[in-house]
Structure 1
């Protein structure tokens, strides 16, 4: 009868083995939990970037003369700065505006490069170019990105108006680059943007005054901001 105990022990061992297998979790259970924890612990997606509001893209704000802004009727000399109310599509505030005028004999090479008909180019030969230099300074940190340099009303010594090439396309000439839109970084205090407007006429009748007549100012001499050569 020696074989019976061996069979009994074998059966007990088999039952113990089954019990152990049933009590031991599958080897991949912990991996599944880890994967689940990783998925649930992922950082949320970054929010989409916000766009800059443009409240004055299609509407014109009302500008007022307040604070350091010069009063209507103010007279300055060429080279002096005036603080004027100003706005861009993004915001409204003030800007420092300084203007000067330079008169140079119009070179034939520059005349030939202008987008004009031959008969119009012929009328310019022997004339002078008048460069109206505008320096805009962001004095209060208003977002003035991409603003257009103001168009000033020019008058000559005789009381007339100089010739102008406005609306004629690109009019770059030596000493006066046709770049009249402020860069995108013209939005911080202290930023400077320089522009140039090209006019022409005879040397004996140069530009002697420039007037800013955009609201809140007006075209009347007593309601504009005017720069003069002296």
Structure 2
């Protein structure tokens, strides 16, 4: 009798231990699952962090003083404020080339003048401070003689094949980004265009002038 009771108790104790072991394993597994879910929820989203990061502020630049005279190939840095786009740009006049007179007269139509000889001012525009100037228009450069004087004619708002005004690309928003553009200009009888001047805003009374 006693021997039978002891056997039953031993079996019951073993079953209890087995149940206890299963309970501990389930508890450990549940804790691990909760820790894993918590880690996944807490992990930062790189894309969201990038979206929330503020845009870099434009860097400070030194502007070229009014009245500065430069050689073709040298850069001037000036403020830019047109059509809601503001910042600073670098302007480098890279050369002046001849333009076909017949094409020029055709482009001007009734506004043409037989006494005007056409020239093309070629220059590069650079984003100087990192402001977003995407899609902005280039500055209006005016042709000058070789010594920086008035060539006797000024042309506005005309393009011919080979001398058309370009526009900043949409991604023109980083310091150092640049694009090439051109400006059609003219000279009166006995004169020619060999340089250019920048006369906008603060430079109206004392332009920046590029000469050979």
Q: Is TM-score (shorter-chain normalized) higher than 0.5?
A: yes
Which of 13, 16, 20 aligns to 1:19? It is 16
Closer/same/farther in 2, CA of residues 54 and 44 from structure 1, 3 Å limit? closer
Residue 150 of structure 1, CA deviation: 1.0
Does 2:140 match 1:151? yes
Deviation string, structure 1 residues 95-145 (Cα, Å, up to 9, x no partner): 25325321121576x998x7x9xxx399699x865221112356xx62155
Does 2:12 match 1:7? no
Does 2:200 match 1:214? yes
SS in 1 for 2:34: helix
**Match for residue 103 of structure 1?**
98
State the distance in 2 between where 1:68 and 1:91 align.
11
Residue 75 of structure 1, CA deviation: 3.9
Closer/same/farther in 2, CA of residues 188 and 122 from structure 1, 3 Å limit? closer
Does 2:20 match 1:33? no
**Match for residue 76 of structure 2?**
83
Q: In angstroms, what is the RMSD of aligned CA positions? A: 4.3
The count of aligned residue pairs is: 194
- Which structure 2 segments of 5+ residues have no match? none
SS in 2 for 1:101: strand
Deviation string, structure 1 residues 165-212 (Cα, Å, up to 9, x no partner): 2xxxxx5723x35423156366345x5432112346789654355321
Equivalent runs, 1:1-230 vs 2, <5 Å: 4-5=1-2, 7-26=4-23, 27-42=25-40, 43-46=43-46, 47-49=49-51, 50-52=53-55, 69-70=64-65, 72-76=66-70, 79-87=72-80, 89=85, 91-92=87-88, 95-106=90-101, 120=109, 129-137=118-126, 142-144=129-131, 145-146=133-134, 147-154=136-143, 159-162=152-155, 164-165=157-158, 171=159, 173-174=161-162, 176-181=163-168, 184=171, 187-189=174-176, 192-199=178-185, 206-207=192-193, 210-218=196-204, 220=205, 223-228=206-211
- Which structure 1 segments of 5+ residues have no match? 56-65, 166-170
SS in 1 for 2:138: coil
> Contact 1:180–1:195 (CA<8 Å) still a contact in 2?
yes
> Contact 1:83–1:95 (CA<8 Å) still a contact in 2?
yes
Closer/same/farther in 2, CA of residues 186 and 6 from structure 1, 3 Å limit? closer
> Contact 1:99–1:133 (CA<8 Å) still a contact in 2?
yes
State the distance in 2 between where 1:83 and 1:201 align.
24
> Contact 1:162–1:207 (CA<8 Å) still a contact in 2?
no
